[in-house]
A = this chain, B = another copy of it.
Amino acid sequence: MSLFEGGSIETMIVMREGTTPVEVDHVLERLAEAGARGHVSTGDTVTVIGVMGDREVIAGIPMEAYPGVEKILPILRPYKLVSREFRTSDTVIEVGGTKIGGSHVALIAGPCSVESREQLLSAADSMKEAGASMLRGGAYKPRTSPYAFQGLGVEALEILAEARERTGLPVVTELMDPRHLDAVAEYADVIQIGARNMQNFYLLSAVGQVEKPVLLKRGLSATVDELLMAAEYIVKEGNNRVILCERGIRTFETATRNTLDLSAVPIIKQRSHLPVIVDPSHATGKVDLIEPLSLAAIAAGADGLMIEAHPAPEAALCDGGQSLNLREFACTAKRIAELVQWFGKTVG
């Protein structure tokens, strides 16, 4: 029944209406030169060419540039190692005694950035007590404004390490520059790649060569497939412990900072074996959305959550409950743990 023998169609080339045989032949010759094969189907209106051959070869052929080509329709997904087809069972990643993936849900929490030893240790104690399974805190901070606080750097890394020793919680922190890789890899249990660096390919390659799990955040304008391609960069270098993170995409809606795309969770779990978590804090920018969207993420099948919480000096004032202080985080964490259990999973 197969018309195209000897290989899968990777890509379909649709020729413009009115294309000439010489253009079609030219495409076939260029494909052959590049090491791929094309099979032509000529109809009344349109001619299509199915392209077969090695995925890596085909990825490098500039088919759009050939005369007569109207559009290119990719058939196969462009990643391999991270795909569900490559590995059917869920990848479970172990980090410092806790697990993520399969039936293990990670609850990663902590302040946006490490501001001081007191602030972080206080936060760490509370996170631990509230049931978090990992501690987050930024040492290097990407800031839209050059006039804003840029992070404490190595000092912050040392404070994070102290918090880990004190609480036993593994530490997640962001790497922004390859020149900081050694320092971050020395202190962190999980290296975070932020949304703005999701397609910083040299950085991806660099963390692919380190023996630490990587938490890779989806870019603001990245599709799910581009996120998986970015993960492929890391895995291709030998590091297959990659945790994906949905944290909102940029849309026209301004009621939230970004638009949290929870459909990405079941989509990623269909297409990939890697664990995927959700960051409702950065996605929405609104503390009173954290609990409902954390529960929604769990219900959608997420393997974890990343939540911002910090010691609140204005605790006494906070009866109205506008800010996710440590006490509020404890409430939310309890509710999350209950729902996780209802779904037959466990935190950590």
- CB-contacts of A208-234 with B (<8 A): 219-221, 223-226, 229, 232-233
CB-CB under 8 A for A67 and B145, given A9-B43, A44-B8, A267-B255: no
A 189-214 to B, binary, CB cutoff 8 A, 1 in contact else 0: 00000001101111101000000000
- Which residues from chain B contact A299 at a C-beta distance below 8 Å? 292, 295-296, 298-299, 339
| CB–CB A59/B148 < 8 A | yes
Contact of A59 among B22, B41, B145 (CB under 8 A): B145
Contact of A253 among B69, B177, B224 (CB under 8 A): B224
| CB–CB A50/B46 < 8 A | no
| CB–CB A144/B342 < 8 A | no
Distance, CA A229 to CA B50, complexed state (A): 28
| CB–CB B145/A253 < 8 A | no
Question: How far apart are A164's CB and chain B's nearest CB, in angstroms?
Answer: 25
A198's nearest neighbour on chain B, judged by CB, is: B196
- Which residues from chain B contact A12 at a C-beta distance below 8 Å? 12, 48, 73, 75
Interface size on A, residues (CB 8 A): 118
A 75-89 to B, binary, CB cutoff 8 A, 1 in contact else 0: 110100000010000
- Which residues from chain B contact A266 at a C-beta distance below 8 Å? 288-289, 292-293
Stretch of A98-106, A117-125, A126-134, A313-321 on the interface side: A313-321
- Which residues from chain B contact A225 at a C-beta distance below 8 Å? 255
| CB–CB A233/B265 < 8 A | no
- CB-contacts of A1-24 with B (<8 A): 1-4, 7-9, 12, 14, 16-18, 20-24
| CB–CB B68/A320 < 8 A | yes
| CB–CB B176/A46 < 8 A | no
| CB–CB A221/B224 < 8 A | no
Q: Does A64 contact B (CB under 8 A)?
A: yes
- CB-contacts of A241-298 with B (<8 A): 249-256, 259-267, 270, 283-285, 287-289, 292-293, 295-298
| CB–CB B262/A262 < 8 A | yes
- Which residues from chain B contact A45 at a C-beta distance below 8 Å? 8, 76, 85
Distance, CA A43 to CA B11, complexed state (A): 12
- Number of copies of this chain that the complex holds: 4
Q: Does A236 contact B (CB under 8 A)?
A: yes
Extra 16 A-B pairs, beta carbons < 8 Å, given A8-B45, A253-B264: A4-B41, A4-B43, A12-B12, A12-B48, A18-B85, A48-B75, A56-B147, A59-B148, A142-B199, A176-B200, A178-B179, A197-B200, A251-B259, A263-B284, A292-B299, A339-B342
Sample 26 A-B pairs with CB under 8 A, ordered by A number.
Answer: A1-B24, A1-B42, A3-B3, A4-B42, A12-B48, A12-B75, A23-B317, A26-B317, A41-B50, A69-B322, A146-B205, A177-B178, A219-B221, A220-B221, A221-B252, A223-B252, A223-B255, A249-B259, A251-B261, A253-B261, A255-B263, A255-B264, A260-B263, A263-B283, A265-B292, A296-B299
Binding site for B on A (CB under 8 A): 1-4, 7-9, 12, 14, 16-18, 20-24, 26, 39-46, 48, 50, 52, 55-56, 59-60, 64-69, 73, 75-76, 78, 85, 140, 142-150, 176-179, 196-197, 199-203, 205, 219-221, 223-226, 229, 232-233, 236, 249-256, 259-267, 270, 283-285, 287-289, 292-293, 295-301, 314, 317-318, 320, 322-323, 339, 342
